[in-house]
Amino acid sequence: MDTLEDNCASLRAQIASTEAQLAGLKRDLANAEKAAAAAKSENIGPAGNRKEARIAYKQQWPLEQEEYKRYGRQMIVSQIGLPGQLRLRSAKVLLVGAGGLGCPAAQYLAGAGVGTIGMVDGDTVEVSNLHRQVLHRSQNVGKYKVDSAIESLKDLNPHPTYIAHRTHLTPAEAPAIFEGYDIILDCTDNPASRYLISDTAVLLGKPLVSASALRTDGQLVVLNNPPRPPGDKHGGPCYRCVFPKPPPADSVVSCADGGIIGPVVGTMGVLQALETIKLITTPCDNISQPKDSPAMHLFSAYADPLFRKIRLRSRRANCAVCSSEATVTLDTIKSGSTDYVFFCGSASLPSLLSPSERVSPRDYLASQSENDDSKGESSDPSSKSPVLIDVRDEAQFGICNLENSINVPISTILASSTSSEGLPSWLPPDISPGSSNPIYVVCRLGNDSQVAVRKLKDLGLGQNDRFIADIKGGFRAWREQIDPEWPEY
């Protein structure tokens, strides 16, 4: 009996507890309904639904207030306006290269308000970059260029989305990287990269803004504009259309070898940004031809006029990429079947001389000491008073040179006549055919000096076992082996 009563008491307690929970849930429901009613009343006013009003307000003022102030000076230009600014904010632009071209181009694209800016570069910042690569700072030496550049760009404009691709562009990666962008900028400095960038851009239907600069000159061209599939003759020409064959590998000169004036490459980078802004902000009217015929713009800092324009032909009928006879595809690029290094040739020069025709800086210095000790009395040709020819150009020779060296630029040597037409006028008396003094040739890196030695021998100066050799590694090796204080430039 007691057990049944206990069971009944337990059930009554559970019922009471459940009823209390139910009452609590009813109170919570009532509170929630009141809150929902209050929230609804806040969104409804005399003018109608306030939430809809806020949406309409955003449609009326699509930019943030700070953006109107930031971009106002360019939006009041008739070619831009608010529609152009909105196109800029929606655009996605990729720059391949964060150096002399990429830095000013990215700087002005970010300043203009391009919504997404990607940068591809696997190099790190060096001191020698700073005179022209204006986004980098001294404290960022050793940092990835893309990280250094984006750091500066964020300080300039925090609104865009910046994407860093910390890699050297490869055929396997290029299509996947390009896919997410609208326009590509070629800011590189070697032919293999230029062909890869152009091929990938054409096959993915991306306009390409390409520029280059060296010494005091630069060039700019907008390619694949308008972008059309391969075989469509109304599309703009590609890089292969303009340059069907790459230049000889031994004729390609980099900024490190040929030099560059900072504002020259800066001018070309700024022009790349300008052409990109024009592409983005010009309304698309689906015409088959661009308003302007394709052209290459040439800039020369010391010429008058500064700019010249060369009209370009349309797509080549037999182009390997953009014609109906195309042999280059995305598959051949990604698989490596299209070998750009092989197509453009090796950038490294082969050794033109035998080991017996080359001496190290240490060996040259030792021969100098032996010559001083013997005072020219030995019959060994290598012990006689040597002649040192420096084949760098006059500007480099003026930066630093070895005592008693003779400056004969390699360009002068290559332009000289052969011995059958008489000896060239630049030959100093000490290296005439009748002299037996050994000849040493030096240059910056040990490449031009080999060419010069071969030329001297072709002129007949190596007769009678006369010793002619180059200093292997040039002044870079001289700095490493002999004089660490030798200027590095």
> Helices 145-156 & 102-112, crossing angle to 10 degrees?
30
State the binding site for ATP: 100, 121, 128-132, 145, 189-190
Distance CA 347, CA 248 (A): 9
Instruction: Give the angle subtended at the CA of 433 by the CAs of 427 and 436, to the nearest 5°.
Output: 110
Distance CA 251, CA 410 (A): 13
The residue written with tokens 């990938």 in the block is 200
Omega of the bond leading into 305 within 30 degrees of 0 (cis): yes
Answer yes or no: 103 catalytic.
no
φ and ψ at 443, to 5 degrees? -140, -165
DSSP 8-state class, residue 418: P
Supply 151's token pair: 């750091």
Give whole-number Cα distances, 384 to 45, 314, 378, 379, 409, in Å: 104, 63, 7, 8, 24
DSSP 8-state class, residue 171: T
The DSSP bridge partners found for residue 423 are: none
Distance CA 213, CA 270 (A): 12
The active-site residue out of 103, 187, 344, 443 is: 443
Contact yes or no for 249/345 (Cβ under 8 A): yes
State the binding site: 100, 121, 128-132, 145, 189-190, 238, 241, 319, 322
Omega of the bond leading into 226 within 30 degrees of 0 (cis): yes
The active-site residue out of 255, 284, 344, 400 is: 255
Distance CA 382, CA 364 (A): 10
The DSSP bridge partners found for residue 116 are: 92, 161
Contact yes or no for 481/360 (Cβ under 8 A): yes
Torsion of CA 309, 313, 319, 322, to 10 degrees: 90
State the binding site for Zn(2+): 238, 241, 319, 322
Answer yes or no: 284 catalytic.
no
The DSSP bridge partners found for residue 93 are: 117, 183
Instruction: Give the catalytic positions in this structure.
Output: 255, 443
